[in-house]
Amino acid sequence: MDELIRNSILIVDDEKSNLVFLTRILGEKYNIYTAKDGTSAVKKATELLPDIIILDIIMPDMSGYEVLAALKKQEATREIPIIFITGLSSAEEEEKALSYNAVDYINKPFRPNIVKLRIRNQIRNVNQVRTIKRLSMTDQLTEIPNRRSFDERLSMEWRRAIREKTPISLLMLDIDKFKTYNDLYGHQKGDIVLRAVAKTIEQGLRRPGDFAARWGGEEFVALLANTDRSGALEVAERIRADVEKLHISCEKSSDAEAPVTISLGVESLIPDTNSSLDLFISAADTALYEAKAAGRNRICTAGDYNNSPD
């Protein structure tokens, strides 16, 4: 992980002296947040998503075990590593704490160097896991998210759209005649096109929550949460036009530059519990094939199509 990015720690303890002590010894290297009770700990963990939580076991409103259980029930906080801190020093208590899937157990009174080393080790683990996950979710050629990453994001946004009764839109994009392009100009030029189109798609998504990925081969997808069909078509047209403006040099061609265009399929709906995610994807895919059959370099919606260029 970039060393300029500081990891964050949420410290939960009902004793102010412990919060002050832990903040003092850890604050130089990490961003520190604090909470004095279980209720505020769950709230802050959900809002801040710290890298690690240091959690006291004995507190007045909720025990550390109850806080851990509450965090494990929430998707957003389920994977945050938790280190218990406590004055309970028996082997039975330590075994119980670890059986709750805490990653470590620190006894009071604290020994500063031991605390620092244990936190350092856990932070290293967090960063290593995060790096591995990021690499596994990234398409190595285009450096945008891959299909696995997209599937995970789509599942999350689909559930949110059902819960909040908001529209969700999907764009399926395919580079026109890419095999012919590869055969004519070579795979290296084909890779340049894939990277250029991926970058153009990402730049065409203006909102932070919009999400683009490489679906496979020369096909890409874009997910637009809280976006209806009209908004999705606007984004699709912007991307189509921007790709058409790309200028890829081709030494093997009699022309100085080879044209690059894409076809797009668009599907939008407000899903409910009876809606099918597979049919949602299939409808966008069908629209994409309609766009290609209708002449390429255009946008279609399922069952109908819109010829974008005149």
Q: 93 and 173: one domain?
A: no
Q: 106, 136, 166 — which closes off a domain?
A: 136
Considering the domain boundaries, does residue 229 fall inside one?
Answer: yes
Q: What is the pTM of this model?
A: 0.68
Considering the domain boundaries, does residue 249 fall inside one?
Answer: yes
Span 144-193, pLDDT tens digits? 999 999 999 999 999 999 999 999 999 999 999 999 888 888 899 899 99
Considering the domain boundaries, does residue 2 fall inside one?
Answer: no
**How many domains does the chain divide into?**
2
Span 93-103, pLDDT tens digits? 878 878 888 89
Q: 84 and 30: one domain?
A: yes
Q: Which contacts (CB < 8 Å, 24+ apart) does range 83-86 have?
A: 83/52, 83/53, 83/54, 83/55, 83/118, 83/119, 83/122, 84/55, 84/56, 84/57, 85/13, 85/18, 85/22, 85/54, 85/55, 85/56, 85/57, 85/110, 86/56, 86/57, 86/58
Q: 127 and 166: one domain?
A: no
Catalytic residue among 157, 202, 218, 267: 218
Span 62-120, pLDDT tens digits? 999 999 999 999 989 999 999 998 887 777 887 887 888 889 998 888 899 999 999 99
Q: 84 and 64: one domain?
A: yes
Domain residue limits at 119: 8-136
Q: 169 and 83: one domain?
A: no
Q: 98 and 212: one domain?
A: no
Q: How confident is the model at residue 309 (pLDDT cuts 50, 70, 90)?
A: very low
Q: 172 and 123: one domain?
A: no
Q: How confident is the model at residue 13 (pLDDT cuts 50, 70, 90)?
A: very high
Amino acid identity at 231: G
308: pLDDT strictly greater than 80: no
Task: Respond yes or no: is residue 218 known to be catalytic.
Answer: yes
Considering the domain boundaries, does residue 226 fall inside one?
Answer: yes
Q: 155 and 104: one domain?
A: no
What pLDDT shows up at residue 101? Answer: 85
Span 287-301, pLDDT tens digits? 999 999 999 999 999
Q: 62 and 190: one domain?
A: no
What pLDDT shows up at residue 251? Answer: 54
Question: How distant, in Å, are the alpha carbons of 39, 56, 251, 299 from that of 118?
Answer: 26, 16, 57, 55
Q: 161 and 129: one domain?
A: no
Q: 116, 136, 156 — which closes off a domain?
A: 136
Q: 210 and 273: one domain?
A: yes
Q: 191 and 236: one domain?
A: yes
DSSP secondary structure of 250-289: -TTSSSSEE---EEEEEEEE---TT--HHHHHHHHHHHHH
Q: 136, 157, 173 — which closes off a domain?
A: 136
CA distance 50 to 234: 37
